[in-house]
Amino acid sequence: MKTAVLGYGTVGKGVYEMLRSAKDLEQGPVLVRKGKADEPWKTDDFDAVLADDSLNAVAEAIGGIDPAFDYAMKTLKAGKHFVTANKALVAEKGSELQAAADESGAAFLFSAACGGGVPLLHNLALSQRGDGILKVSGILNGTTNYMLDRMQRFGTDYEAALKMAQEMGYAEADPSADVSGLDALRKVILAAGTAFGILPSGGLHEGIESFTAEDIRFYQSKGLVLRLIAQTERTAGGVSCFTEPVLFPDNAPEAAVLENNNLASYEGRCCGKISLMGQGAGRYPTASALIRDLESVLSGERRMFPEGLKQAEADHDSVKRRYLVRLPEEAKEQLPCDEVQGKEGAYLRILTGAIPVNRMHEAARKIREKGGRIAFAALEE
Ligand SMILES: NC(=O)c1ccc[n+]([C@@H]2O[C@H](COP(=O)([O-])OP(=O)(O)OC[C@H]3O[C@@H](n4cnc5c(N)ncnc54)[C@H](OP(=O)(O)O)[C@@H]3O)[C@@H](O)[C@H]2O)c1
């Protein structure tokens, strides 16, 4: 199956290289930006790629929505298979792309977009056919896990941990999507679509920007380890979908996920909890997932989202958790306090009663709007 590669950056280079040695796959052209086609196998003309009848598939590694969405729609409408690593594209435009694929019969696969080399979406797609899936959760962002691990094991402060993540090539020059939890939210939206056939909108994301080395020391004194968790589950009102920091006992599996690794788990009605751990990003792990998708196309796979994919507002009323919160003393009344655990200057550390996820996120938003500083993490219980 001859495959064109869109984008020749970190992932695109890996895919092009791996296509050379893949068993039943053949290298097609690589699309680069206008004026940058400096090799005979590169092109800057997408329409020429599309018009090439010898090409059966396109692997997209440009990123973003524009022009990736236009290229994706044209590819699928032309009946060519489309595989992508682009989580922003699938989280935002997944329904339209799936509809175009359904109409032409082409394959639309995106396992590289969630978990990199970790085959989470493939397993969800398989498991949801044989068993109902109740919940998907995990550490889906390697950059923030690396930073939290540095802060936890080496006492590094937030700024230094971010700088190290950038030096290691894990964090981008603009790390905001990673540290704000948005990157992990996009991934878990894809997991929700694959597991439940619902692409949730209005997902909540809290990241790791608010935590200090002092917060981490406080958690450690209580035997707790901080991780950034993305989660989606079936609820009374539909499907929840959010990213937030969570505190685990130091003997929990999540606490043992070090460096930039991912740990993705799902719970089936009958199969119970299943976990997958490994490299969630990087050139070769991610390229290997795109190659895996192309091989799956050859064995007849056409979709990851189940038939009848819907879009719906996420439900955050039904999921309740207790939170350990550092907040200005004058903001204490905004949350139900079960216990004051400490006082540092004008700030308190409180443990809340069980409250809906959206109430916690909303309280944090209001406190920050008024210039207050707040850090919160759910307790894994
Ligand atoms: N890196 C990872 O570990 C990883 C893991 C999982 C998923 N992903 C996803 O994979 C995708 C690619 O990520 P990446 O890390 O490989 O990014 P990257 O290194 O920035 O590569 C993107 C490439 O696409 C090129 N490009 C941008 N616009 C283009 C256009 N209009 N036409 C042709 N080429 C264009 C860029 O060219 P210029 O250099 O000229 O701008 C660049 O070479 C993203 O959606 C990302 O979320 C990445």
Say if 103 falls within a structural domain: yes
pLDDT for 313 equals: 97
Domain boundary among 95, 113, 131: 113
pLDDT for 343 equals: 95
- The count of C-alpha atoms lying within 13 angstroms of the C-alpha of 96, restricted to the half-sphere facing its C-beta, is 13
Residues ≥6 apart with Cβ < 8 Å to 273? 265, 266, 267
Residues ≥6 apart with Cβ < 8 Å to 159? none
Q: Is the CB of 116 under 6 A from ligand 1?
A: yes
Residue 10 CA to ligand 1 centre (angstroms): 7
Q: pTM of the full predicted structure?
A: 0.96
Number of separate domains in the chain = 3
**77 included as an active-site residue:** no
Cα 355–Cα 358–Cα 363 angle in degrees, nearest 5: 85
pLDDT for 207 equals: 98
Report how far apart, in Å, the C-alpha atoms of 364 and of each of 59, 88, 184, 368 are: 40, 25, 19, 6
Say if 107 falls within a structural domain: yes
User: For 270-326, how does the pLDDT look when each residue is reduced to its tens digit (9 = 90+)?
Assistant: 999 999 999 988 999 999 999 999 999 999 999 999 999 999 999 999 999 999 999
Q: Is the CB of 5 under 6 A from ligand 1?
A: no
Residues 64 and 82 in one domain: yes
Say if 104 falls within a structural domain: yes
* Amino acid letter for position 76: L
Residues 29 and 145 in one domain: no
Say if 291 falls within a structural domain: no
Is the pLDDT score of 171 beyond 90?
A: no
Residues 124 and 208 in one domain: yes
Residues 326 and 351 in one domain: yes
Token pair, residue 166, equals 């950038």
Q: Is the CB of 186 under 6 A from ligand 1?
A: no
DSSP 282: S
Residues 94 and 36 in one domain: yes
Residue 319 CA to ligand 1 centre (angstroms): 35
Report how far apart, in Å, the C-alpha atoms of 178 and of each of 39, 80, 295, 333 are: 34, 32, 30, 31
Q: Is the CB of 8 under 6 A from ligand 1?
A: yes
Residues ≥6 apart with Cβ < 8 Å to 20? 27
pLDDT for 164 equals: 97
**What's the mean pLDDT in 174-178?**
95
Pocket mutation for ligand 1, best pick of 6, 8, 11, 110 (most atoms within 8 Å of C-beta): 11
pLDDT for 172 equals: 82
Cα 266–Cα 251–Cα 231 angle in degrees, nearest 5: 30
pLDDT for 372 equals: 95
User: For 62-95, how does the pLDDT look when each residue is reduced to its tens digit (9 = 90+)?
Assistant: 999 999 999 999 999 999 999 999 999 999 999 9
Percent of the chain past pLDDT 90, that is, above it, reads 96
Candidate list 74, 80, 135, 187, residue with the active-site label: 187
Residues 89 and 145 in one domain: no
- Domain containing residue 232: CATH number: 3.30.360.10
User: For 330-364, how does the pLDDT look when each residue is reduced to its tens digit (9 = 90+)?
Assistant: 999 999 999 999 999 999 999 999 999 999 999 99
Residue 85 CA to ligand 1 centre (angstroms): 9
Is the pLDDT score of 23 beyond 90?
A: no
**What's the mean pLDDT in 10-35?**
96
261: left (phi over 0), alpha (psi -120 to 50) or beta: beta
Residues 19 and 99 in one domain: yes
Q: Is the CB of 85 under 6 A from ligand 1?
A: yes
Nearest to 76 by CA among 92, 60, 54, 91: 60
Residue 360 CA to ligand 1 centre (angstroms): 35
Within the chain, what is the greatest distance between any pair of CA atoms? 69
Q: How confident is residue 204, by pLDDT bands cut at 50, 70 and 90?
A: very high
3-state secondary structure of 2: strand
Residue 237 CA to ligand 1 centre (angstroms): 37
User: For 218-232, how does the pLDDT look when each residue is reduced to its tens digit (9 = 90+)?
Assistant: 999 999 999 999 999
Residue 67: cis peptide before it, omega within 30 degrees of 0: yes
Residues 222 and 355 in one domain: no
Contact, 377 vs 245, CB < 8 A?
Answer: yes
Residues 145 and 70 in one domain: no
Say if 297 falls within a structural domain: no
Residue 60 CA to ligand 1 centre (angstroms): 9
pLDDT for 355 equals: 98
Nearest to 331 by CA among 349, 356, 353, 354: 349
Q: State the residue range of the domain holding 253.
A: 120-279+304-313
- Domain containing residue 66: CATH number: 3.40.50.720
Average pLDDT over all residues of the chain? 96
Pocket mutation for ligand 1, best pick of 62, 143, 178 (most atoms within 8 Å of C-beta): 62
pLDDT for 235 equals: 95
Nearest atom in ligand 1 to 113's CA: 7
Residues 126 and 83 in one domain: no
Nearest to 77 by CA among 59, 99, 53: 99
- Going by alpha carbons, the residue nearest to atom 21 of ligand 1 is 9
Say if 286 falls within a structural domain: no
Domain boundary among 89, 113, 137: 113
Q: Is the CB of 11 under 6 A from ligand 1?
A: yes
User: Hey, how many other C-beta atoms are within 10 angstroms of the C-beta on 189?
Assistant: 26
User: For 105-144, how does the pLDDT look when each residue is reduced to its tens digit (9 = 90+)?
Assistant: 999 999 999 998 899 999 999 999 888 999 999 999 999 9
Say if 31 falls within a structural domain: yes
Q: Is the CB of 181 under 6 A from ligand 1?
A: no
Q: How confident is residue 265, by pLDDT bands cut at 50, 70 and 90?
A: very high
Report how far apart, in Å, the C-alpha atoms of 155 and of each of 150, 213, 215, 326 are: 7, 6, 11, 19
Pocket mutation for ligand 1, best pick of 5, 6, 10 (most atoms within 8 Å of C-beta): 10
Residues 130 and 81 in one domain: no
pLDDT for 173 equals: 83
Q: Sign of torsion, CA 225 230 234 240?
A: positive
Domain boundary among 293, 313, 333: 313
Q: Is the CB of 281 under 6 A from ligand 1?
A: yes
Residues 140 and 92 in one domain: no
Say if 285 falls within a structural domain: no
- Domain containing residue 369: CATH number: 3.30.70.120
